[in-house]
Amino acid sequence: MNHHRPFELVVPVGTADHMLGSEHAAVTVVEYGDFECPNCRQAAPVVRMLLERFAGRARIAFRHFPLEEVHPHALTAALAAEAAAGQGKFWPMHDLLFDNQRHLKPPQIRGYAERLELDMERYDAEMRDTVYLQRVREDIEGGNLSGVRATPTFFVNGRLQDISYGLQALEQGIEAALRPKK
């Protein structure tokens, strides 16, 4: 039995994570997201803006938490993002999936892979063989253990950041984490 405090990030950030921002940043934000979730789509530009605002001081890691019961295309989208990551294009695919959230059927997603000039033979094989399913399942499992129930869920330096009243709470959480400890 894991005896961790609730609402803390159980799986620490590591080299396998998809990261934006300086690796020496004082603050690490982890987002558990779902490409078919409207709130995640709305959060994406805010997260980018915060990365610019806290350039060099904050970085973001994106982890998959597809809510398959509610979002029929979320898992496929996550697998496609991983296939793109295998070719060094996770973030461009992340952005395309959110920008085209209403069009996430497999042939449409395949079109985004083509637009990113991925090696399509490799993409098709990896999607067919669900090569990245285990990776996505591990993200989901880590999210579950950390108390993630909905998307997007953010952790700031390992602690759950409540954003139920809006995303400005994420900015406040980063600012608080950057303040020198008394």
Q: pLDDT class for 1, splitting at 50, 70, 90?
A: very low
| CA dist., res. 143 & res. 141, Å (int) | 5
| CA dist., res. 43 & res. 51, Å (int) | 12
Summarised one tens digit per residue, pLDDT across range 53-74 is: 999 999 999 999 999 999 999 9
* φ, ψ for residue 88, nearest 5 deg: 75, 20
Summarised one tens digit per residue, pLDDT across range 138-155 is: 999 999 999 999 999 999
Amino acid at 118: L
Q: Are 149 and 135 in contact (CB under 8 A)?
A: no
